[in-house]
Structure 1
Amino acid sequence: MAIDLVTRREWGARSPRGAYGRLTSTRGVKVHYTGGQVSPDIVNDHDKCVALVRSIQNHHMDGNGWMDVGYSMLVCPHRKVFEGRGPNRVPAANGSGLNSAHYAVLGLVGSSGLTQPNDDLLHGILDAVEYLRDKGGAGREIKGHRDGYSTSCPGEALYAWVRRGAPRPGGGGGPADPPPAFPGRTLAYPPLMSGEDVRTWQRRMRERGWNIDVDGLYGPGSREVCRTFQREKGLPVTGAVDRATWNAAWEAPVT
């Protein structure tokens, strides 16, 4: 996976003032904007992007009293992805009680000045999302900060893009892989079933936010998650992953 990563050392990050909380998986990523004025000059001067990222960290540490910058990653209009807290670390920007469910990715646009994300910034956000999936166990959700928290963030332009499914600019589609085909057998218990198809379904349910072991073994725990999911989606409650339940795991809206 290609990503133009700017490490903390490269952008001159301050050292954190404490230990990070640890994350091994999340439901996905929440997208943010600065909420203030961003100079349009940063589009033509990457050094100003670096300075802005430093100022954001200073505000979070000195103004908010946080131990570090609150975001997992920060993205500029040159498709460069700045390492914030990074993968496997709890962010601080999503709101009280919400940080362990999603990583936080900031796009360097604001409520005034530079308000419209260019294509490189959108690509960079998706590069950051894929990086957090690969390195930090981020799930498939891409949400706006305002989803579940009372705020105008990430602004109208970025949020409209999120609501469209966060597509790649230029018709490249969203970052999600195509859903896998139904494996041809119904996953049920008893008896205990095992296999890569079980693991694939369990992983998908974990990505959707369910508390499920991804061990490739379809036992009572997987059956109970299946039953609850079927009930939520209006499917026959059998506890068995048939074709309709399998497809719903990828196609049904996440609630």
Structure 2
Amino acid sequence: MARMPGATWRPIPVNYSGGGISPRIVVVHIMEGTLTGTDSWFRQSRARASSHFGTGKNGALYQWVDTANRAWAQAAGNSFCISIENEGKGGDRLTDAQLDRNAEILAWAHRTHGIPLQRTNSTSGRGLGWHGMGGSAWGGHTSCPGPKIVAQLDEIVARARKITGSGGTPGGSGGTPPTGKAPTFPLPHRWAFGPKSGPNWQVSGFYSHRSDLRRWQQRMLDRGWVGIGNADGLYGPRTARVARQFQAEKGLGVDALIGRATWDAAWTAPVT
């Protein structure tokens, strides 16, 4: 079971699916109504809808569905999303109290499910997103939660980072995660994805497992290098750019590859 401490547990008997979820995105919604009204609606079979969490404008926080189960909030996204319904209507902004509750949920999801403290604009990404980004596959609610709330997502990430002590800001480097001994450097398997002469040898073939690169990317995000995008375990232009910038900042050899020195520096070098 995965229930969030501090949330009022309001389990619903219908409108969710047991199990079958691997969370990687926290999705922000707007209720088009009140917390009390939504609580009542989710208990009716005809609603065919639910959410994991709900916030009130005054800071109330409900949990309706255990995050080990699928809430019915994003259609095709239900198998990998944790949903937050927020009291209000289209055109509203989240109150300061709602921003805090959303940040607390994101921080808890980070600790409990490993969801990174970052924005994502893609349904294939990881982090904090919003309902409308899923388009027709997520029910076609492209106006949910509205542009004013979408503009507040960076603030939610920043508050979640503060809660967890990860440091950093959504706009760039400057976080203050603790430094210390780096995890054991994963030996590179340069032949993992094709012959040495292949066009992507230095890029795609540098790691034997995506989890190694994902770990380094997440560490860089925690340091504040949010320009890296998502910690997805894929080596793309953003990861290469951040690697170069980080290497230059720390006086390392600038080749954009995450070798032993660059790996270790992500944990041991002071944050500037």
Counting only pairs closer than 5 Å after superposition, residues 103-122 of structure 1 correspond to structure 2 as: 103-111=82-90, 115-122=92-99
* Unpaired stretches in structure 2, ≥5 consecutive residues: 118-126, 168-176, 191-206, 222-229, 242-254, 267-272
Which letter maps to 1:118?
A: T
Are 1:27 and 2:18 an aligned pair? Answer: no
- Structure 1 runs not aligned, ≥5 long: 39-48, 211-224, 248-255
Distance 1:31 1:186, change over 3 A: same
Contact 1:81 1:128 in 2 (8 A): no
Aligned residue pair count: 198
Q: Which has the higher contact order (CA 8 A, sep 6+)?
A: 1
CA distance in 1, matches of 2:21, 2:37: 27
* Equivalent residue, structure 2, for 1:214: none
Question: Which shifted more, 237-246 or 132-141?
Answer: 237-246
Q: 1:72 matched to which residue of 2? A: 52
Alignment of 1:177 onto 2:166: yes
- Give 3-state SS (helix, strand or coil) of 2:186's partner: coil
Counterpart residue identity of residue 62, structure 1: R
User: Structure 1 segments of 4 or more deviating over 6 A?
Assistant: none
Structure 1, residues 199-251: CA drift from partner, whole Å, max 9, x if none?
A: 9927949x9464xxxxxxxxxxxxxx5xx41566346575746527985xxxx
Identity %: 12
Change (3 A) 1:106 1:70: same
Post-superposition Cα deviations, 1:159-211, rounded to whole Å, max 9, x if no partner, equal 11014564339xx85767135658397532359x9xxxx69927949x9464x
**Deviation digits for residues 99-122 of structure 1, max 9, x if unmatched?**
22321111112127xx23221111
Q: Report the residue type matching 1:15 in the other structure.
A: P
SS at match of 1:167: helix
Counterpart in 2 of 1:62? 46
Q: In 2, are the aligned partners of 1:165 and 1:174 still within 8 Å (CA)?
A: no
SS at match of 1:168: helix
- 2:133 & 2:163 partners in 1: Cα distance? 19
User: What amino acid does structure 2 have at the position aligned with 1:6?
Assistant: T
Q: Report 1:1-255 matches (<5 A).
A: 3-8=5-10, 13-16=11-14, 19-24=17-22, 26-34=23-31, 36-38=32-34, 49=35, 51-58=36-43, 61-63=45-47, 66=48, 69-94=49-74, 96-111=75-90, 115-140=92-117, 141-149=127-135, 150=140, 151-164=142-155, 166-168=157-159, 173=162, 177-178=166-167, 179=177, 181=179, 183=182, 186-189=185-188, 201=215, 204=218, 208=230, 210=232, 225=233, 228-230=234-236, 233-234=239-240, 240=259, 243=262
RMSD: 4.1
